[in-house]
Amino acid sequence: MVLRAVTVDTNVLMHADNPNETEFAAAVQFLQQLSRASTLLSMDEGFCLDTSKNKSRIGHEYLERLVFGGAGYAILTHLALTGRIDAVCCKSIPLAIKRKLNQIVSNVRDRTFLLVTCGAKEKFLVSHDFRDFSVRKRTLIKKQFAVDVKTAAEALGHI
């Protein structure tokens, strides 16, 4: 199954810049595949590479944490400049789903990634965060929201 779109947690992009991370090689390989594929990067509406014009929460986190010139930033720039950003409108997601998300994920930033994934073309989130997305929570998220939360290594076969 080739994904039309994928939501990517900031930590995956950051791990591709840090050879000391255990997930470094998988993150690099995932980003290389993402750059060559036709898969879109899902994020909330309002993304702009110009930080003064950006209104996206995910975009803000990317621009705040990614290092200019690093692999994560380069891929983000490439996807943005080639029109491969999937702007997801989260306003149409029912309040009941938002409340359930709030109960499962306490971290507001991670909740945004999950909310966007719930509203995206493909319900597929790539994350290396096992604190907020523990194995138990990943199973619960799959069951309640039909969202797959996978590592970069697990996502390689889907891009």
The pLDDT profile of the chain, 159 residues, written as one tens digit per residue, is 689 999 999 999 999 999 999 999 999 999 999 999 999 999 999 999 999 999 999 999 999 999 999 999 999 999 999 999 999 998 888 899 899 999 999 898 999 999 999 999 899 999 999 998 999 999 999 999 999 999 999 999 898
Give the span between the Cα atoms of 129 and 134, in whole angstroms. Answer: 8
Q: Are 84 and 47 in contact (CB under 8 A)?
A: no
Domain count, the chain: 1
SS3 85: strand
Give the global pTM. Answer: 0.94
Query: Where residue 107 sits, what CATH number does that domain have?
Result: 3.40.50
Q: How far apart are CA 41 and CA 23, in angstroms?
A: 20
Parallel/antiparallel/unpaired status of strands 5-8 and 85-88: unpaired
For residues 33, 38, 44, 49, the Cα torsion angle rounded to the nearest 10 degrees is 80
Residue 80 lies in domain? 5-158
CB atoms within 10 A of CB 159: 21
